[in-house]
Amino acid sequence: MQVVADNGMAVPGKSATAAEIPAEQPSMKIFKYRDSNGVRAFSDKAPSGRRYEVIQLSCFACSVRSSVDWHSIPLKLNAFTAAIDSASRQYRVDPALIRAVIHAESAFKPSARSKKGALGLMQLMPATAKDMGVGNALVPEENILGGVRYLAWLLEQHNGNTLLATAAYNAGPGAVKRYNGIPPFEETETYVKRVRILHGRYRNALVANAPGRSVSLTASY
């Protein structure tokens, strides 16, 4: 996630200093290689017995060349349940959407750090984490609470429109305002599509696991 605060919409706050960013945390990595048929492939795990190239991305779902099948990639239905449900109730954000964003941002890796300095499960930039009251973005509970608070704010800014809110989560609220819609950035368009796929899958899975449960809160399309 990258925050662009050039339009007066972003939550005010001071940026964290470099010393406040834990330098030892790993970056988000994607491994590029060729499969047994010679076809170029991408994975979040190093392929065994093959030459590969490491690519650092701003988020797990941001590579436009990713070979991940977002319609079938295993879901994380039991990870960080207490923190996600608590944040969902507090900020009235669909828990399925929260899981979709976490999956897209970090693949549920709490120590993920992007090359731009975004940290943790919901890939919070230091300034955004500070604005959202997050003391340590690498603590899952704090990261989720801050990320959901920010996501709730974006949903409010866009009248509950999930496409615009997730586009803003990726490209920044300034970019969405500037283009009066989803910015024509290949990464952002790809990110929004993948989050929507994941959101639908998580919503269906959560309902299937808990019949009668409503998972539609502030999110809409």
- Give, in degrees to the nearest 5, the angle at Cα 65 between 59 and 67: 90
Residues with catalytic roles = 105
Report yes or no: 127 and 70 within 8 Å, Cβ to Cβ. no
Residues in Cβ contact with 191 at an 8 Å cutoff, skipping those fewer than 6 apart: 59, 61, 62, 104, 166, 167, 170
The encoded tokens of residue 157 equal: 């800014």
Q: Which secondary structure element, helix H or strand E, spans residue 41, and what is its range? A: strand 40-43
